[in-house]
Amino acid sequence: MSTSESIPQSTIEEKLFTVKYKPGPSSHLIPNQDHCQICPTKACNYFCPANVYHWDPEQHRNLVAYENCFECGACRLGCTYQSIEWFYPKDGHGVTFRHG
Ligand code: SF4
Ligand code: SF4
């Protein structure tokens, strides 16, 4: 058996199943809505693995389902304008990972 066959692989859905959320009272992710309105890519809507961001053309706002965030940090770098205010949830809120 090769090494790659002996390492169990898991899908992103399986990994997300190991995540437990304790949402805080307010968002720890604050996109700059002025930038979102002119953003040509809306990239966060595509690369966030937890589908946290959703551009709403009617409200003309980037909606943020921060409760689903598992704090991977990708949007800090991947935002087209790098203008998402981002901090870890405080007071024991946020994500924990189950193992086993
Ligand atoms: S990539 Fe950045 S600027 Fe563009 S919609 Fe997402 S948060 Fe807003
Ligand atoms: S930190 Fe990761 S999971 Fe959370 S909103 Fe950003 S890209 Fe999505």
Q: What confidence tens digit (pLDDT) does each residue in 54-98 have?
A: 999 999 999 999 999 989 999 999 999 999 999 988 887 888 776
**Ligand 2 atom index nearest CA of 66:** 5
Cβ atoms 83, 36 nearer than 8 A: no
Q: Work out the end-to-end distance of the chain between its first and last CA atoms, rounded to an integer number of angstroms.
A: 24
Is the CATH code 3.10.20.30 the one for domain 29-97? no
pTM of the model: 0.81
What is the distance in A from the centroid of ligand 1 to the CA of 54? 10
Ligand 2 shell residues, CB under 6 Å: 29, 48-50, 52, 69-75
Q: Whose CA is nearest to atom 3 of ligand 2?
A: 69
Q: Are 52 and 73 in contact (CB under 8 A)?
A: no
Sequence ranges of the domains in the chain = 29-97
The answer on pLDDT for 34 being more than 80 is yes
